[in-house]
Structure 1
Amino acid sequence: MHAVLVSAWAGVAAVTAAFANDVTYTVMDFDQLDGWENDDHASALETFLNTCRDMDEVDWTAVCRFAQTDPDPRQFFELFFRPVLIEDGQDALFTGYFEPELDGDLYRSDRFRYPVYQMPDEALAQNPWLTRREILDGEVLAGRGLEIAWVDDPVELFFLQIQGSGRIRLPDGRYVRVGYRGANGHPYKSIGVELVRRGVYQPHQVSAQVIKNWVRRNPEDGRELLYHNPSYVFFREISEVPADKGPLGAMNRSVTAMRSIAVDPSFVKLGAPVWIEKDGEKPLRRLMIAQDTGSAIKGAQRADVFFGTGDRAGLEAGKLRDPGRMMVLMPIQRAYALLPESAI
């Protein structure tokens, strides 16, 4: 059972359905979205088309078919969708992610001696399997031909595992692209949070680059810090994805820099457009497409913005940890189906 609440925002009435599990859905109008009229809706529509063909519900397939007829982009979204604010009682949080680019080779050498592993059969069969420490300190994977490539930096490899995908630049200029295959089944533990717990940094000081620098300055303690995270990620080669395209997201399609986000699929339908109102030092008002997921992305108001590939994208993504709010664009009938008939 749910109750109905009527609230006002920006002077326009919005109807909210509150469900017993403390999740609320507020159907809004587009003039309630801050900055909506200033966005590049054509860019958002192009990104939407990249994955909407894979959405199999009737209402989504209908709007996807119309999207392929070259409509006016802004009118398309306003005609077929309604923004829905989904809240679960948790504060909104926006972070960033990117596709790392590492230097590596297909063969081991003195420089390239850290393996990027495929997933062994026993890790598929047993959950949880060995910890990060047991995998790296032991010989369980050695000599089995599970290496996709070898890279020159264990810290960058650790962050490749956090991101879940990346490109490895070979000495001849070619690339090997890898994507997430699976993990060892142990929970992810943040080494940034651990550095804060130890009193090394304050929360506002921690970023990916700060962590990398600390580990490199403290090689022995740094190695132990990496072991604090028992989770270990295995990869698969996805070099069939062109180098000029983004990595594959959860929908098995390339994600787009600054238009794709990772979401919690228990609240947000993969492939759905999502209006972002990110606050902080660099406010962002933009229509994104939910095309990815992440183990740390949990909650109705939680999103990870994809910044692109390489070091510059990584620096920008690593700085992002901001509040705000986001609204999911749902096909009109689906949006109003969330509300009782008396509220429509």
Structure 2
Amino acid sequence: MIRAARAIAAAAALVVSSAMPGASSQILSFDELDGWADDDHNAALTTFLNTCTDLKDPDWRSLCAVAQNQPSGRAFFELFFRPVLIGGEDPALFTGYFEPELDGALRPDTRYRYPLYRKPPELRSGQKWFSRAEIEDQGLLRGRGLEIAWVDDPVEVFFLQIQGSGRVKLPDGSALRVGYGGANGHQYRSIGAELVRRGVYQPHQVSAQVIQNWVRRNPVDGRALLQHNPSFVFFREVGKVPSHMGPLGAMNRSITTMRTVAVDPAFTPLGAPVWIEKAGQDPLKRLMIAQDTGSAIKGAQRADIFYGTGDSAGRAAGRVRDPGRMVVLLPIERAFALAPGG
């Protein structure tokens, strides 16, 4: 999953569109949501409150005001929302993402040699700049004072760029959080798909951990594989988010482990509650909040689940590639306007 486009979608969080291009809409009852009665709706309500104050549409603002003093999350959602299945004719795909945690330092040494870079001042938003290979092979960023920190593993740097945000653990025990700060304008190419194309792995064998291990075992070919992806992401220091809270999502608020989902905002309004029915090895039936986006998240039935921070979260997220169903909870009037025959 590509986290590189998350921060640039922050403005979209303030405009909740009901336009669902080319997708069908069907209103369901709460009884039709498998596992609905067994969820922790109060946890979902807490997550909803974290971002609903940023929504500008009058119907959402009214619901957010009502939500401030609700004793029962389940009663709140059932009273003021209706479940809407959008694009139900399309197969759903759930994946997972996480916040990486790297070991690093604020000064380079023999261990910490691989920098995280700020965006160079000459690179304008939306501009197509040098490719990953050109940046790395020609040393275009080296010695310009653009370094935020140095870490001990170039493969971790690459995957941090894919996720778009992360934490750097410093030698004194403190942590530095970094977020998406821009990109070089090149389209992302999947190195996992490239390994499948080369016949190295079958599609079902590919995960982030498998790719990382292959690159480390094959340093020369591994470097070339990483450069198959021409996209290069720059970072910024995020100093206003306490270390115990989640990273910032597309709504510029901290996201919540196993309660935040990334969606395609062309179909699912940012800030909306979303009911997840994920199949697979670890089934998940849970009310989550659409608080994030990603450039690989396209379609009405496409979602990315936030699994948290660190290596264990990364392993859990990397195993997820499952079918299921996603149902959006919309304010009642909006739901019936979208699917009047429901």
* Fold conserved between structures, TM > 0.5: yes
Cα 1:288–1:203 change in 2 (3 A) is same
Q: State whether structure 2 residue 315 is matched by structure 1 residue 315.
A: yes
Q: State whether structure 2 residue 309 is matched by structure 1 residue 301.
A: no
- Residues 119-134 of structure 1 aligned to structure 2 (within 5 Å): 119-124=119-124, 127-134=127-134
Which moves more between the two structures, 21-30 or 209-218?
Answer: 21-30
Q: State whether structure 2 residue 106 is matched by structure 1 residue 84.
A: no
Shift of 1:116: 0.3
3-state SS of the aligned residue for 1:51?
helix
Matches of 1:121 and 1:92, distance apart in 2: 40
> Could you say which residue in structure 2 is the equivalent of 1:245?
245
> Could you say which residue in structure 1 is the equivalent of 2:282?
282
Cα 1:113–1:274 change in 2 (3 A) is same
> Could you say which residue in structure 2 is the equivalent of 1:184?
184
Amino acid in the other structure paired with 1:317: A
3-state SS of the aligned residue for 1:304?
strand
Cα 1:144–1:89 change in 2 (3 A) is farther
Q: Residue by residue, what CA displacement relative to the aligned partner does 1:260-297 show, whole Å, maximum 9, x if unpaired?
A: 01111111111100000000111100000000111111
**Relative CO higher for 1 or 2, CA cutoff 8 Å, sep ≥ 6?**
2
3-state SS of the aligned residue for 1:43?
helix
Matches of 2:20 and 2:172, distance apart in 1: 59
Shift of 1:139: 2.5
Matches of 1:91 and 1:65, distance apart in 2: 35
Amino acid in the other structure paired with 1:26: Q
> Could you say which residue in structure 2 is the equivalent of 1:59?
59
Q: State whether structure 2 residue 32 is matched by structure 1 residue 36.
A: no
Matches of 1:339 and 1:84, distance apart in 2: 8
Asked whether the 8 Å contact 1:88–1:299 carries over to 2, the reply is: no
Matches of 2:262 and 2:249, distance apart in 1: 8
Matches of 2:332 and 2:267, distance apart in 1: 17
RMSD: 1.4
Asked whether the 8 Å contact 1:22–1:89 carries over to 2, the reply is: no
Higher-strand-fraction structure: 1
Amino acid in the other structure paired with 1:240: K
> Could you say which residue in structure 2 is the equivalent of 1:195?
195
Q: Residue by residue, what CA displacement relative to the aligned partner does 1:287-318 show, whole Å, maximum 9, x if unpaired?
A: 00000111111111000000000000000000
Matches of 2:107 and 2:263, distance apart in 1: 36
Q: State whether structure 2 residue 298 is matched by structure 1 residue 268.
A: no
Aligned length: 324
Q: Residue by residue, what CA displacement relative to the aligned partner does 1:73-107 show, whole Å, maximum 9, x if unpaired?
A: 10000000001111075421000000000000111
> Could you say which residue in structure 2 is the equivalent of 1:8?
none
Matches of 2:240 and 2:20, distance apart in 1: 46
Matches of 1:144 and 1:160, distance apart in 2: 21
Matches of 2:144 and 2:46, distance apart in 1: 43
3-state SS of the aligned residue for 1:50?
helix
Matches of 2:308 and 2:93, distance apart in 1: 20
3-state SS of the aligned residue for 1:277?
strand
Shift of 1:71: 3.1
Shift of 1:32: 0.5
3-state SS of the aligned residue for 1:129?
coil
Matches of 2:125 and 2:265, distance apart in 1: 25
Q: Which runs of 5+ in 2 are unaligned?
A: 1-18
- Residues 82-121 of structure 1 aligned to structure 2 (within 5 Å): 82-87=82-87, 90-121=90-121
Task: Please say which structure displays the higher CA radius of gyration.
Answer: 1
Asked whether the 8 Å contact 2:275–2:286 carries over to 1, the reply is: yes
Asked whether the 8 Å contact 2:131–2:186 carries over to 1, the reply is: yes
Normalising by the residue count of structure 1, what TM-score does the alignment of the two structures yield? 0.92
Matches of 2:246 and 2:236, distance apart in 1: 16
The list of structure 1 runs, each at least 4 consecutive aligned residues, that deviate by more than 2 angstroms after superposition, is 19-22
Asked whether the 8 Å contact 1:22–1:88 carries over to 2, the reply is: no
Matches of 2:90 and 2:165, distance apart in 1: 28
Shift of 1:252: 0.4
Which moves more between the two structures, 72-81 or 134-143?
Answer: 134-143
Amino acid in the other structure paired with 1:242: P
3-state SS of the aligned residue for 2:53?
helix
3-state SS of the aligned residue for 2:305?
strand
Cα 1:113–1:67 change in 2 (3 A) is same
Percent sequence identity over aligned pairs: 67
Cα 1:170–1:280 change in 2 (3 A) is same
